[in-house]
Every structure is written in structure tokens, then in C-alpha cells.
Amino acid sequence: MSDTPDSAVHAYTERHRAAFLDDLAEWLRIPSVSAQPEHEGDVRRSAEWLSAKLKETGFPVAEVWETDGAPAVFAEWPSDDPAAPTVLVYGHHDVQPAAREDGWSTEPFEPVIRDGRMYGRGAADDKGQVFFHTLGVRAHLAATGRTTPAVHLKLVVEGEEESGSPHFRALVEQHADRLAADAVIVSDTGMWNETTPTVCTGMRGLAECEIELHGPEQDIHSGSFGGAVPNPATEVARLVAALHDTDGRVAVPGFYDGVAELTATERALFAELPFDEDTWLRTARSGAASGEAGYSTLERIWARPTAEVNGIGGGYQGAGSKTIIPSSARVKISFRLVAGQDPDHVQQAVQAWAEARVPAGIGHRITFLPATRPCLTPLDHPALRAVARAMGRAFGQKILFTREGGSGPAADLQDVLGAPVLFLGISVPSDGWHAPDEKVELGLLFKGVETAAHLWSEMAAALR
Amino acid sequence: MSDTPDSAVHAYTERHRAAFLDDLAEWLRIPSVSAQPEHEGDVRRSAEWLSAKLKETGFPVAEVWETDGAPAVFAEWPSDDPAAPTVLVYGHHDVQPAAREDGWSTEPFEPVIRDGRMYGRGAADDKGQVFFHTLGVRAHLAATGRTTPAVHLKLVVEGEEESGSPHFRALVEQHADRLAADAVIVSDTGMWNETTPTVCTGMRGLAECEIELHGPEQDIHSGSFGGAVPNPATEVARLVAALHDTDGRVAVPGFYDGVAELTATERALFAELPFDEDTWLRTARSGAASGEAGYSTLERIWARPTAEVNGIGGGYQGAGSKTIIPSSARVKISFRLVAGQDPDHVQQAVQAWAEARVPAGIGHRITFLPATRPCLTPLDHPALRAVARAMGRAFGQKILFTREGGSGPAADLQDVLGAPVLFLGISVPSDGWHAPDEKVELGLLFKGVETAAHLWSEMAAALR
Ligand SMILES: [Zn+2]
Ligand SMILES: [Zn+2]
């Protein structure tokens, strides 16, 4: 008379659907923007909200952990099976900045459900993906009849991921004993698209810098002085223009040191994916693909290091005109790194490159944000197969493999805890991470719940 | 028993000093910023204030002239000598934008006198220099015992100079009969420095454009898409970097067409000036001089055409970081033009150059503001000598000759009215035109009054 585990999970999930969405919407209403000091209190409120919700879910332990920055949340639900492996789930509760006037159709922090999607900042990145684990573990218990999970389950949800996780490594080092795990599941990535479930096997690292150039001590009249003194806005532009060579390679000497080149196997794995450049361009909302010569689009975004200008500014940007030579100009550049690259080495290379290019009469200040290391999951690890099986049971489809172009502190967990890092994400490229109208597909959100529900039995079997 | 004309002018000026400064301060309190729509009413108030003040001064005719933009002021004081030549004075009553937070020591529109200087937006550019003519003509009458000026005196003071004088040429064409003159005196330039009185013989022209580049339809995540689509901020930077060649020449094909090269005489005139590059750099507040190879600093700013970035912007410019590929980026570039260059031809050349450099996947919009033509006074015109003599009487010094790197609508007056354009300006490079803490030296302001007072007798003699 009993359902199979798969349908039991599904039925349980369906029954708790409405309450789950209400709870998620409540969380999304907290504007936990870690990059903006005025939201410091909101980030804390978000941590406290999550900690309370995890207790409500049944986690015997749920704590707010302080850092030198924004607080993180830790929760633990031990298995009653002493031989069970320990799995640590990672996510983040902070979000990117968002303002209605950036182009949102509705208020970014007033989530709404429209056409089977929930819109709101953090819906996909990353509150929605953290949150599916709460219903997931309850569905796991309900479907298996267990009172505790099949693995010793731990959760760490940090509050500064969108600011480059400046205190996360210290937090992990400080609490290494409590975070210790046989495997780490990172739920802060995506899958191929709405109909192609995939497991991610690696993320790029990230080094970010701001280069500020100073010219005249104040803005000066471009009529009186134009043509005879260096212009910091022009010099910032020259730096940016020199960032790439004509093949689209980053022209900073030493930047490619140590880069793990793609193997034939990896290129073949990428080629298995139903990639259509026109579709991809529509997702990117870009009119053309371009980048490093000799690599496909997927290779460029997943396996090649890059340099992107995130923001540039200097001088008069208002209406009309102002005939000045600006006193300063600046650019924010982010470098994506791949396995084999060392962020410290990249930063030194960028600093040396920039300094050598600043002409006489121009002052400079180069600052780096804390870097994120690249990471890559071993393709032959049994835990990777366990994730793929759990996902396969939820989706009823073959699971393919991808990488992720974005960056996260997964590598810190790998480094400090000595555990392999796996990725379980159900977000899709159209979800608009870091963009206006960020959303999560509700259908996929509940597949995430179901995958999480299957995962603990699969992991227990794989890692036993 | 009677004073010489020179000391009579001086004595008259001294007696009216306090009232004159009070009046000027009152005018500077009107924030007549033509580039900012929110100040439209203030520009009108400024015109009405000036018109009333000119009537009070004694001008029988003083009118506010409407344009399709901001209003101008016209005033006329006929001579009772029917054989007197007609002289038209040009200035402007609008000012550059200014805000305390740009670096002003005091409120830009609350003028204050400190250390013998009056600080306030417009103190030097151009209200102070328009205003010295009001006391100047009264001193002229008082010192000569005349009841009307020695020339048919006309004044036109426009309200859109800082916005590129978009309607000034039409205004001059419309009122060409009432503006008709034998010579034009432009009081919107400067002199060499506090101790070296000079007469300016030419101004550069100005063509201004804004280039906006569009990439993805919205900001997209630089992790997910970085390295595989064109980035409009990078492309704007590449355009700017391509604007000059390695010799500092503007690299837009056709840009130099028609440029009047400097003659040996002109270079010798420039070389007569007590130019010290270190002093000049301090005035420019720049750490170095640089520019087109093969030319001195003075030649670069006075006699060579240039391209300067006035503002550049795109993507995230706030605190912290935002890992996006921005959806758009833009740059404001102003081109200074010299005699022989045609602004229309330059605009076409810039447009063609920019369009040819925009890569696939990047949209563009290039807009030009109304241009200003370059102008150059004939060195052998008797009116130029009259200006130099009037200035010599006021300053008691030899007068040298300069040019001005800035731009004004003087060429329109020359074109439409067929009259030679002369320059009478008492501003100095340290006055901070278009910058925070703009000021006028009170000592020079009253030398301006005295020069204006002597000028009408000198012009009457020279042009008779
Ligand atoms: Zn995230
Ligand atoms: Zn001016």
C-alpha cells in the first residue's frame, strides 16, 4: 500500500507547497544587501529569520554565527545512524543590490508570483536555493519514515557572498571542527536550462579591483587646458583598452600562469550539451558572442579566465555638457579565474601591469577586494554520481554535466575542510541573477526540494 | 585744476566700488545654470535683473530678448556724435553647473569676498566681466564730461553660452539690424596672469558629442556571461583609447582638414610671453604637461585642435562591487577647433570614425551638441590696437598678446555682422572657470572697469 519513495516525496512536497512559498516570500522581503552599509541591519534580520525557520523545520541546532562582517547561519541535524557520513550544505542569505529604477517590473523586495515564477531579489540567488533544503529534508524524513536524516546534515549559510565572502574563510577556519564533513553540497549554482537538468562540476574564481586615476587636483576647464595635460578619464580608458589583446586574451603579463588547460574529455563533456548560440544569446540579451579566440562560448564562460569591466566612471555624467578635464576617473574590473590560477599572483600581476601604464602626471590607487579561488569537482568522485542520481529521480531525466562561470567560496570549504565540493543548483540562466526582475521557476524550485529529499539517502549509500 | 582722464576714471571707480560689488554679488546669487532644466527660471531672473540694472546704469534701451531657449539681454546707448562708430559688447549671463559637494569651500551661489577676491559661480565667467562694463561706461562719461558715450554702445548678453549657445546665431540673425556694429568687443576671456595684462586675439571652436554604446539589453552577471559577449564599457574605453595616436594627435581621419598651421610670427608672439611651465602646471593643478608632439604647451592650448573626455560612465559606480556586464556605457567628448576647421566636417568625421569602430553586438547612439566656430582677430586691425591702448592706460604696463583655448560664439558675431571681433577680458587662469571656488580678483575687476572706461574714446579715435 505504501508509495514508492519518489512519489511519496512528490506528494509531501505538493502538500506543503503554499506554506513553503509564503515562507520564502517572507524571507525575500528582507533586503539583505551585503554590499550596501545601509542594509547591515537587514542582513542580520535575514540571518535571524533563517535561524528561527531552521529550528521550526526541525534542525535541533540552528545558530547565528558572528563574523567580522555580516552574520552567517549554522544548523545541524545529526543522523541517528552513527555510521552515516556527514554532509555540509552551503548557501548564502545575502543578495545583490536592487532598486526599482534599475528596470524592475515590480519592487525587488516585494516578491510576487507571476506565470509560475516568483520574482524578487534573491529568489534564485540564493535564498530560493537555500530554502528548498528546508522542505527537502522534511520530505526525506516523511518519505523514508526516518526521524533523523540518513546523513549527519549540516548547513552553513553565509551573509557576505555577494561582497566576495571577505570573512567566510576565517569563519570556516574558526569553526572547522563543527563544519567538518565528508562532502560539501553547494546550492548556489544553476543548471543548463528549464528542460535540461545538469550537475555543475566547477566554478571560476574571482579577483576584483578598482583602479582610480587622479589628474588635476580639481576639475579644470577643457578650453583653457585641453590638449596640454593628461586626462585621467582618457587614461582609465587606455588601461581598459589595453586589458585585452586583439585575440581577446587578457593582456596582463603573468595572468595565465598555471591555468589548467581543457582536456579532450572535458571538451567532449561540454559538447554533449544541447548548446544553441542563438538561444544562449537571447538569454544573455546580447546581440553577439565574442571573446578569446580558439574557444567556444561554453569554454569561454566555464573554463577560461577573463577580465570584465563592471563599472567605469569619471567627470561629468549629467544632462547636457560640462567642458572639463575631470580630476579623477575609475574603473571596477573583475577577473574570473580557473583551476590552477592563484588569486594572489593574479592581483600582483594586475597591479604591476596597471602601475607600469600610468603616465607622468597621473596618480593612481589600486584596491583589491578579497578574492575567491576557482574550484573543480573530481569527475570520478562517488558523491558526484550520488548528486546526479538524486537529481535524476526528481527530474526523471538523464543528468548532464556543466561548469559554472560564476564564483563562490566553495574552494575555501574544499581547502579548509579537505572535503570534495559538489554542486546542486536548480536555477536557470533566464533567472536574471544580479539583474532586474530576478526570479525562480516554481516548477524547478520544487524539483530542487525533491532532489534535496532524495539526496541524503543517495549520499549515505555513496559515502558509506 | 581738472584731473587727467586716467586719474579721473580711477577716482570715479574707487568711489563706486562698494555699491558695484554689492550689485555684482546680488547677480551672482541667481543660479543661472543654463545646462540644468531646473534652473530655467533662474536664467530668466538673471536676464531680468541685468536688464533692470542696465537701465539704472543709464542705458536708454535695455530689453530682454526671447530665444527658443534662455533669454538674452540687449542694451543700447547711442552717442550724441552722429559720426561715432558703433561697438557691440558681448558677454553671457548664464553660468556653469555648481554644487557645494563638488569641492567648493563655500556655497557657489552665495558669493563671499575673501582676501581681495570675490568667490562664486560666475564671478569671472562671465557675470563679473559683463558687469565691469556698467561701471566702465559711467566712469567714461564722468571722466570725459560727456553725457553720452564716445561710441554708439551696444551690449548683447546671452543666456546659453555654457550650453554651447544653441540659439545665439539665430538670435543674431534675427536682430542683425539692431546688433550691427563696426567692431565687437567680447568680454568672456582672460589675460595672461595677475601681473601681465594681455589682449586675446583668438579663441578655439568647440564640437561636443556624446557616444552611448549599448550591449546586453540589461545588466547581466559577469560570472555567467563574462568573457563571451561584448562589454559596452570596454568598447567605450576602446573608442576613447583610439581617439589619439601615440604622438598625441587626434586619430580621427579628416579631423585636421583645413587647420591653419601656426606662422613663425605667431609662434614668436607666443614666445614673448613670460611662460613658465611649472607655474602653469600649478595653475592647471596638474602634475605634468603632455599633448601633441612637436608643439609647446601654449601652442597646444591656443592654436592646436584637441579631443578631451569630459565624462565617461557605465555600469556600477557605487560602493563595493557588482559583478555585472553593464548594459550600456557612454562618453562625452569635446573637440576644440582652430581657424580653418569646419565644425560640420569635424562632426561627420567623428561620427564615421566612431561608427566604424563599434563591433558586432554593440548598438550605438552618437549625438552632437550645437558647435561653436573658432575665431581669430586680424593682427593688424586698428581696433585691436585701441583695446591694447585702453588696457595699457588702465594697467600702466605694456600689453602683450595671447590667444584663448576656450570657445565662445564670437565667430557667429563675426560671420553674421561682418565685424571684427576683439577681446577684452581681465580674468586670470587661477580664477577656476567651470571649477569649484570660481573667483574674480577684485584688483583686476576694477582694472576691467577702467579699461572699459578708456576703451570708448580709444575706439572712437581708432575707427573714425
Ligand atoms: Zn549566489
Ligand atoms: Zn564664459
B435 touching A, CB under 8 A? yes
E strand residue ranges, A172-305: 183-186, 198-203, 205-214, 220-221
H or E, element range at B162: none
Q: How do residues A91-116 score in pLDDT, each as one tens digit?
A: 999 999 999 999 999 999 999 999 99
User: Which cell numbers in the block locate residue B285?
Assistant: 593643478
Structure ipTM over 0.85, yes or no: no
Q: How do residues A306-353 score in pLDDT, each as one tens digit?
A: 999 999 999 999 998 899 999 999 999 999 999 999 999 999 999 999
Q: How do residues A160-190 score in pLDDT, each as one tens digit?
A: 999 888 899 999 999 999 999 999 999 998 8
**What confidence score (pLDDT) does residue A410 get?**
82
**What confidence score (pLDDT) does residue B4 get?**
59
User: Which cell numbers in the block locate residue A344?
Assistant: 594572489
CB nearest A226 (choices: B239, B243, B308): B308
Q: CA-to-CA distance for B54 and A164, rounded, in angstroms?
A: 63
CA–CA–CA angle A89, A94, A96 (5° rounding): 125
**What confidence score (pLDDT) does residue B442 get?**
98
Query: Which residues lie below 8 Å from residue A38, measured CB to CB, with a gap of 6+?
Result: none
A430 touching B, CB under 8 A? no
Kindly indicate the confidence band of residue A380, based on its pLDDT and cuts at 50, 70 and 90. confident
CB contact under 8 Å between A284 and B321, yes or no, is: no
Kindly indicate the confidence band of residue B2, based on its pLDDT and cuts at 50, 70 and 90. very low
What's the B188 CA to ligand 2 centre distance in angstroms? Answer: 5
- Whether B34 has a pLDDT exceeding 60, the answer reads yes
Cα A52 to Cα B27, B230, B336, distances in angstroms = 63, 44, 65
- Average pLDDT score over residue span A357-363: 96
Percent of the residues in chain A that have a pLDDT greater than 90, as a whole number? 84
Kindly indicate the confidence band of residue B376, based on its pLDDT and cuts at 50, 70 and 90. confident
Q: How do residues B5-27 score in pLDDT, each as one tens digit?
A: 678 999 999 999 999 999 999 99
CB nearest A221 (choices: B228, B288, B433): B433
- Average pLDDT score over residue span B195-202: 93
Q: CA-to-CA distance for A247 and A285, rounded, in angstroms?
A: 23
Residue in the structure block whose three cell numbers are 549527519: A152
> What helix, strand, coil percent values describe chain A, rounded to 5?
40, 20, 40
- Whether B1 has a pLDDT exceeding 50, the answer reads no
Kindly indicate the confidence band of residue A4, based on its pLDDT and cuts at 50, 70 and 90. low
Mutate to test the interface with A, among B96, B333, B335, B434 (most CBs of A within 10 A): B434
- Whether B44 has a pLDDT exceeding 90, the answer reads yes
Percent of the residues in chain A that have a pLDDT greater than 70, as a whole number? 99
CB contact under 8 Å between A220 and B284, yes or no, is: yes
Nearest chain B Cα distance for residue A446, angstroms: 23
Domains of chain B: 6-203+375-462 (3.40.630.10), 205-259+305-368 (3.30.70.360)
CB contact under 8 Å between B435 and A284, yes or no, is: no
- Whether B139 has a pLDDT exceeding 70, the answer reads yes
**What confidence score (pLDDT) does residue A2 get?**
38
Q: Report yes or no: B404 and B398 within 8 Å, Cβ to Cβ.
A: no
CB contact under 8 Å between B406 and A233, yes or no, is: no
Q: CA-to-CA distance for A273 and A289, rounded, in angstroms?
A: 18
Q: How do residues A426-455 score in pLDDT, each as one tens digit?
A: 999 889 988 999 999 999 999 999 999 999
Q: What is the DSSP letter of B196?
A: B
- Whether B159 has a pLDDT exceeding 80, the answer reads yes
What's the B126 CA to ligand 2 centre distance in angstroms? Answer: 5
The pLDDT mean for chain A works out to 94
Q: How do residues A108-160 score in pLDDT, each as one tens digit?
A: 999 999 999 999 999 999 999 999 999 999 999 999 999 999 999 999 999 99
- Whether B3 has a pLDDT exceeding 60, the answer reads no
- Average pLDDT score over residue span B349-357: 98
Per CB-CB distance under 8 Å, the chain B contacts of A334 are: 222, 226, 321, 323
Phi, psi dihedrals of residue B236, rounded to the nearest 5°: -60, -40
Kindly indicate the confidence band of residue B127, based on its pLDDT and cuts at 50, 70 and 90. very high
Query: Which residues lie below 8 Å from residue B301, measured CB to CB, with a gap of 6+?
Result: A224, A225, A226, A227, A228, B405
Query: Which residues lie below 8 Å from residue A257, measured CB to CB, with a gap of 6+?
Result: A341, A342, A345, A349
Kindly indicate the confidence band of residue B379, based on its pLDDT and cuts at 50, 70 and 90. confident
Listed by number, the residues of chain B in 55-94 with a beta carbon closer than 8 Å to a beta carbon of chain A are: none
Q: Report yes or no: A349 and A253 within 8 Å, Cβ to Cβ.
A: yes
- Average pLDDT score over residue span A184-202: 93
* Model confidence, pTM: 0.79
E strand residue ranges, A3-151: 61-65, 72-77, 86-92, 112-114, 117-119
E strand residue ranges, B66-219: 72-77, 86-92, 112-114, 117-119, 152-158, 183-186, 198-203, 205-214
Which one, of A367, A359, A386, A370, lies nearest residue A455 by Cα? A386
User: Which cell numbers in the block locate residue B435?
Assistant: 571649477
Q: How do residues B55-99 score in pLDDT, each as one tens digit?
A: 999 999 999 999 999 999 999 999 999 999 999 999 999 999 999
Q: CA-to-CA distance for A218 and B102, rounded, in angstroms?
A: 9
**What confidence score (pLDDT) does residue B164 get?**
80
- Of residues B373 and A27, which shows the higher confidence score? A27
E strand residue ranges, A133-276: 152-158, 183-186, 198-203, 205-214, 220-221
**Number of A–B residue contacts, CB under 8 Å:** 373
Which one, of B424, B201, B436, lies nearest residue A322 by Cα? B436
Phi, psi dihedrals of residue B430, rounded to the nearest 5°: -80, 0
- Whether B227 has a pLDDT exceeding 80, the answer reads yes
What is the number of the ligand closest to the CA of B160?
A: 2
Q: CA-to-CA distance for B419 and B91, rounded, in angstroms?
A: 16
Nearest chain B Cα distance for residue A170, angstroms: 20
3-state DSSP assignment of residue A160: coil
Kindly indicate the confidence band of residue B170, based on its pLDDT and cuts at 50, 70 and 90. very high
Mutate to test the interface with B, among A229, A290, A341, A368 (most CBs of B within 10 A): A229
Q: What is the DSSP letter of A272?
A: T
Report strand pairing: A375-376 vs A183-186.
Answer: unpaired
CB contact under 8 Å between A308 and B227, yes or no, is: yes
Q: CA-to-CA distance for B48 and B66, rounded, in angstroms?
A: 11
**What confidence score (pLDDT) does residue A459 get?**
97
**What confidence score (pLDDT) does residue B138 get?**
98
The pLDDT mean for chain B works out to 94
